[in-house]
Amino acid sequence: MTTVVVVEGSADPHRLSQALPGVRVEVLDRLPAVSHPAVAVVMRSGTWLSAHHVACLPALRHVVRPGSGTDNIDLLALAARGITLHRNPTANAAAVAEWTLLAALSLSRRAALGHNGLTAGRHLKAACLGRPLAEQHLAIWGAGPVGLAIGQALRSAVSDVAYAARPSNPPNLPQRPAELLTSWADLHVVALPLRETTLAAFGPAWLANVGRRRPALICAGRMETLDLSACLDALDAGALSGLAIDAIDPEHVGSLTGPGEPRNLLLTPHVGAQRADVRDVLDRWTAETLRTALLEGREEDR
């Protein structure tokens, strides 16, 4: 029997079973690390698909990623085996943009500082003197589906928007050279994929360039695009007025908790795309993608 492995939380297994009659849908808390007959796997962020996992799945033909990021997938291992990767990079963009608006308001009004003070038993009203979001310049680093959705969601809420200039950006976008954005923007949003070139890209050198303006920094993508230690130090030193990070996964928690002064810091457990309508769209897309892929495979085998 054809078997599909669904990493727990990646898709609705009941919906998949209904869409794939005659297919065994197996829900696991992680990808198999020993030989397994699955022809397809469904996974989201927080699960690593390594070359070892690929070797343990000799029948694997399809990897379904209901989302956009691929930093947790060994793409070379898939390519070497001719395994097809299916992604949906647009379904969650509006939801992540909505979270970014929430973060921008929270940092600008210093609500995150007030909340963190209260949880520490301190009333910090005097330190929570905010500034209007409508008076701020917004810089967006990344013009993929999420970055574009952020621009649309925040354009009417801020004074001006500009993207970090890149040759791959749509030509109609308002853009500024990266070196000019650092002295122009009051609010920076990072919406870049995690690559070798973006790993810890927002660190000491970048912070030194923006420090005079004391901007707020929002990470709407992978936390690893930030040099976290440097960003927290900048927040404590006043070089950043606020910091918000969404993609906090379980392994990150230990590095972000502990004693210290309350900060204008918003941390959320990777909830940017955690909206009911988005999950419904992705569940339907996953079911249709697998149904098409597996049915096409059956036709080819005849």
Q: State yes or no: pLDDT of 297 exceeds 70.
A: no
Over residues 158-178, the mean pLDDT reads 95
Q: State yes or no: pLDDT of 158 exceeds 70.
A: yes
Confidence bin at 250 (pLDDT 50/70/90): confident
Over residues 229-247, the mean pLDDT reads 96
Please tell me the predicted confidence (pLDDT) of residue 162: 98
Over residues 197-225, the mean pLDDT reads 95
Over residues 250-254, the mean pLDDT reads 82
Please tell me the predicted confidence (pLDDT) of residue 212: 87
Q: Are 13 and 27 in contact (CB under 8 A)?
A: yes
Q: State yes or no: pLDDT of 299 exceeds 50.
A: no
Please tell me the predicted confidence (pLDDT) of residue 301: 43
Q: In what order do the strands lie in the sheet with 62-65?
A: 24-28, 3-7, 40-42, 62-65, 84-87
Over residues 240-244, the mean pLDDT reads 98
- Read off the amino acid at residue 208: A
- Give the global pTM: 0.91
From CA 28, how far away is CA 5, in angstroms rounded?
7
Helices within the chain (DSSP H only) = 13-19, 51-55, 75-81, 93-108, 111-119, 145-154, 178-184, 204-210, 228-237, 253-256, 276-301
Q: Are 101 and 138 in contact (CB under 8 A)?
A: no
Confidence bin at 68 (pLDDT 50/70/90): confident
Please tell me the predicted confidence (pLDDT) of residue 254: 79
Q: State yes or no: pLDDT of 298 exceeds 80.
A: no
Higher pLDDT, 252 or 270: 270
